[in-house]
Structure 1
Amino acid sequence: MKHADLVFCPGYWGKTYLVQGMAGLVRNGDTWMSMTPFELESQEIGVRLSRGHVVIMGMGMGWAAAVCALRGEVTAVTVVERDPEILALHRGLGIFSQLPPAARAKIRVEQGDAYHWTPAEPVDLLMPDIWPLAVSDGRVEEVRRMQANVRAASVYFWGQELEIARHAVAAGRALDDAGIAATIADFGLPLIGPEYPGYAGLLSTAAHRHMRDRWFPGHAPTHVPAA
């Protein structure tokens, strides 16, 4: 764990913020998760729409699990993490033990592989967050592998707005409600997000700010409007 006293951080779709007291999870010089506005905003929609039994693939710093557990609409949170060092770190820090008793009682942590773990009871929302970068090739297929085992009623994966944007542009679609809906249909996943107010505008803004050279080869747009 590392700690930054004062740092400027860009948001996912929000502006650049001056952040004080930011914690980060670092391994071999690479930041796997941090409490930056980018990280918080890029999972905010999934958290805000969470309900029922939520399964989070990848512990990270545990904030998404903690905030989901605080929601009255959420009845249980299962966190699946394969790395024993991350699990030991969380046991040592006692992050979830600091939650109110009712929220703390909802959280269960299991050691397992995101691509092979299967639930013992129905899952209402699957939230995979196992990647160090917000964009990576093959992510949709990887989420499909997880969903094939979990069979959740809905899915929200980290970086999905950027993934939707790059696939939509490659298919010649606009980043509007219709283009987003068609692209999600191609994914074959029960993604949530489009029902969130202003989703198309937020997606376009995130793509405008963060996609850079991550578009599919030969499909980089000349301009992506920001909301």
Structure 2
Amino acid sequence: MVDQFGGKPHPRSQVPDLSNVDLDTLPVTPPDPLRDYYEPMQVGAWALRVVPMAVCEGYWTGLQVVNGLVLLRRRTSVWMSITPMETESQLIGVDFARGHVVIHGLGMGWVAAMTALKPEVDRVTVVEMDDEVLKMHRQLDLFARLPDGAGDKVRIVEADALDWMPDSHVDLLMPDIWLDMVSWGRAEEVHDMQANAKADMVYFWGQELELARHAVKAGRDLDDAGLALTAKEFDLPLVGLDTPDYAARTRIATKQWMKGRWLEGSTIPADLRSSADEEMEA
């Protein structure tokens, strides 16, 4: 993400190709409302870092400049960052949040904080099992510093997301426990979490790419009908499919972020192919 200058990145990396980009023409991402709540720190293998400037690609928007980029690393891997890709890929869930929201995976706490700030939300339960992440958040004290006591809604539970069961009704379940945007068996893992949570609504990180992989494997178009049928087969109360331009945005996110990670035996439509697909077939 931050090693962007001085070479052409591998097509399957998450680093954008800037070899033919005039940086002066790129839009600048507006400051994130939580940006100033973070400060550099390290706890065990985890480190919060601030990068002065980076060029990032959105989940379904294009290249843009991010100033003061905050990211969370575990050793050499970036697990979360306040980038357009990360925020755009979570905002549908945040927009649907109301009542009791359960978030699997604490990370930087961005989703939990943004959710707690909503007046429609009464309670936010965050399930996290990494003791170093929990220690980092005790030091960061993010939620206690949110305005108007919004952080009082947040309760952190140390548990395995695949085993944890709620003690009260859940309105929205938002799982985000994965390092990569695409991973094998994600839909099945979400199904297992929902079997315990029994939430009224579910929105999981990378939902659009998972729907796209299964729809393409089934030979369906990535349009409203194809996505709706695929979502029905997931047997999950997924939200977001009726938001404006969902199918069009899913196609953009798929082309930008699938990076060749299709289900085996898929015939990839020409309009969804990327340089990663060409690289894998070479």
TM range (shorter): over 0.9
2:205 is aligned with 1:205: no
Deviations 1:162-188 (A, max 9, x none): 000010000011111100110001100
Aligned residue number for residue 99 of structure 1? 146
Following the alignment from structure 1 to structure 2, what is the Cα–Cα distance between the partners of residues 23 and 221? Answer: 35
Aligned residue number for residue 168 of structure 2? 121
Please report how far the alpha carbon of residue 225 of structure 1 lies from its aligned counterpart in structure 2 after TM superposition.
Answer: 5.6
Structure 2 length-normalised TM: 0.78
Paired AA for residue 124 in structure 2:
V
Following the alignment from structure 1 to structure 2, what is the Cα–Cα distance between the partners of residues 195 and 7? Answer: 33
Please report how far the alpha carbon of residue 28 of structure 1 lies from its aligned counterpart in structure 2 after TM superposition.
Answer: 2.1
Q: Gapped runs of 5+ residues in structure 2?
A: 1-47, 274-282
Aligned 1:53-132 pairs, distance under 5 A: 53-132=100-179
* Stretch moving more, 121-130 or 211-220: 211-220
Following the alignment from structure 2 to structure 1, what is the Cα–Cα distance between the partners of residues 138 and 75? Answer: 21
2:54 is aligned with 1:7: yes
Following the alignment from structure 1 to structure 2, what is the Cα–Cα distance between the partners of residues 127 and 197? Answer: 20
Following the alignment from structure 1 to structure 2, what is the Cα–Cα distance between the partners of residues 40 and 143? Answer: 20
What is the DSSP-based 3-state SS (H/G/I as helix, E as strand, rest coil) of the residue aligned with 1:5? strand
1:162 to 197, 209, 212: 209
2:224 is aligned with 1:180: no
Following the alignment from structure 2 to structure 1, what is the Cα–Cα distance between the partners of residues 157 and 148? Answer: 20
Deviations 1:41-76 (A, max 9, x none): 110111111111100000010011101111111111
Paired AA for residue 214 in structure 2:
H
Deviations 1:65-111 (A, max 9, x none): 10111111111111110001001101101111110233112111111
Following the alignment from structure 2 to structure 1, what is the Cα–Cα distance between the partners of residues 261 and 272? Answer: 16
What number of residue pairs does the alignment pair up? 226
Instruction: Quote the sequence identity (%).
Output: 51
Segments of 4+ moved more than 2 angstroms: none
Deviations 1:134-163 (A, max 9, x none): 100100000011111111111000000000
Following the alignment from structure 2 to structure 1, what is the Cα–Cα distance between the partners of residues 245 and 269? Answer: 23
Kept in 2, the 8 Å contact 1:207–1:224? The answer is no
Following the alignment from structure 2 to structure 1, what is the Cα–Cα distance between the partners of residues 185 and 82? Answer: 26
Kept in 2, the 8 Å contact 1:65–1:79? The answer is yes
Deviations 1:3-30 (A, max 9, x none): 2100101100011110011111111211
Aligned residue number for residue 96 of structure 2? 49
Aligned residue number for residue 276 of structure 2? none
What is the DSSP-based 3-state SS (H/G/I as helix, E as strand, rest coil) of the residue aligned with 2:271? coil
What is the DSSP-based 3-state SS (H/G/I as helix, E as strand, rest coil) of the residue aligned with 1:75? strand
Following the alignment from structure 1 to structure 2, what is the Cα–Cα distance between the partners of residues 86 and 220? Answer: 40
Kept in 2, the 8 Å contact 1:46–1:127? The answer is yes
Please report how far the alpha carbon of residue 223 of structure 1 lies from its aligned counterpart in structure 2 after TM superposition.
Answer: 1.8
Following the alignment from structure 1 to structure 2, what is the Cα–Cα distance between the partners of residues 195 and 49? Answer: 12
Following the alignment from structure 2 to structure 1, what is the Cα–Cα distance between the partners of residues 89 and 66? Answer: 16
Paired AA for residue 111 in structure 2:
A
Question: 1:57/1:19 Cα in 2 relative to 1: closer, same or farther (>3 Å)?
Answer: same
What is the DSSP-based 3-state SS (H/G/I as helix, E as strand, rest coil) of the residue aligned with 2:226? helix
Aligned residue number for residue 149 of structure 1? 196
RMSD of the TM alignment (CA)? 1.2
2:66 is aligned with 1:19: yes
Please tell me whether Structure 1 or Structure 2 has the larger radius of gyration of its CA atoms. Answer: 2
Following the alignment from structure 1 to structure 2, what is the Cα–Cα distance between the partners of residues 98 and 124? Answer: 25
Paired AA for residue 170 in structure 1:
K
Kept in 2, the 8 Å contact 1:175–1:200? The answer is yes
Kept in 2, the 8 Å contact 1:80–1:111? The answer is yes
Structure 1 length-normalised TM: 0.97
Please report how far the alpha carbon of residue 222 of structure 1 lies from its aligned counterpart in structure 2 after TM superposition.
Answer: 3.5
* Stretch moving more, 100-109 or 185-194: 100-109
